[in-house]
Amino acid sequence: MQSRLSVDALLELMYQGSLETLYMVGVAAVFTLLLGLPTGVLLVVTRPGGVLPLPRLNMVLGIGINIGRSLPFVVLLIALIPLTRLVVGTSLGSTAAIVPITLGAFPFFARVVESALDEVDKGRVEAVLAMGGSGWHVVVKALLPEALPALLAGLTLTVVMLIGFSSMAGVVGGGGLGDLAIRYGYQRFDDKVMAGTVVMLLLLVQLVQGVGDRLVRALAHRR
């Protein structure tokens, strides 16, 4: 059994691991939003009876999203190693982990967007169309503004999920708190490291959820 880490070394590792986790989650959240939001919008507007009905495109998108959501993230991590190496140049480290984290999360967020847009009052959509608005006007004038609180709540839920994904990325050397927990907490049997990483992840989740809930409530109150 290897020697336990000193308190100073543990704090340094926790600090670095937390920064790497924040980096992975932050960047992956941006890419998840950029990919998931338009995909979710397309799922709504291209369905039969939508403002821009394209049934074949809708079917392809739906199948692709369902496949992405059905794969366990650990399996996806391993399966995407060749793609990660192609995109980033390596499959190790926090930057490399962003690729599978994003591809694992954006199908979920796309469905969240679809669900949020489905809750919009159809009268709003009909009013825009009655005034001569196009499909684009329906999206930017009715769907997205009306669904904003639900979209923000869904994004908060997705970011919490990203924190969990970033931890699992440590299985393949993804860096961050998950990698720290595996390399020092599990492989070296250091209970202090394991407990510290668990506490930090819990704090991150609570912080994200708390901020997200406050923003949703503030937005809903304004409306």
* Residue-range definition of the domain harbouring residue 138: 5-219
CA atoms of 14 and 6, how far apart (whole Å): 12
**pLDDT tier for residue 1 given thresholds of 50, 70 and 90:** very low
**Is the separation of the CB atoms in 167 and 181 below 8 Å?**
yes
CA atoms of 38 and 68, how far apart (whole Å): 16
pLDDT value of position 3: 55
pLDDT value of position 5: 65
Regarding predicted confidence, which is higher, 136 or 22? 22
Q: Is the pLDDT of residue 129 over 90?
A: no
Residue 121 buriedness (CB in 10 A; 0-12 / 13-18 / 19+): exposed
CA atoms of 26 and 10, how far apart (whole Å): 24
What mean pLDDT is predicted for residues 103-115? 94
Amino acid letter, residue 207: L
CA atoms of 50 and 59, how far apart (whole Å): 13
Tokens of 109: 């967020």
Which pLDDT tens digit goes with each residue over 184-216?
777 777 778 888 888 889 999 999 999 999 999
Count how many residues are written for the chain.
Answer: 223
**Is the separation of the CB atoms in 17 and 176 below 8 Å?**
yes
pLDDT value of position 134: 78
pLDDT value of position 195: 83
**Is the separation of the CB atoms in 56 and 64 below 8 Å?**
no
Tokens of 117: 């847009």
pLDDT value of position 15: 87
What mean pLDDT is predicted for residues 94-105? 91
Regarding predicted confidence, which is higher, 155 or 3? 155
Q: Which of 34-43, 48-57, 203-212 has the lowest mean pLDDT?
A: 48-57
What mean pLDDT is predicted for residues 169-175? 75
Domain count, the chain: 1
CATH code assigned at 189: 1.10.3720.10
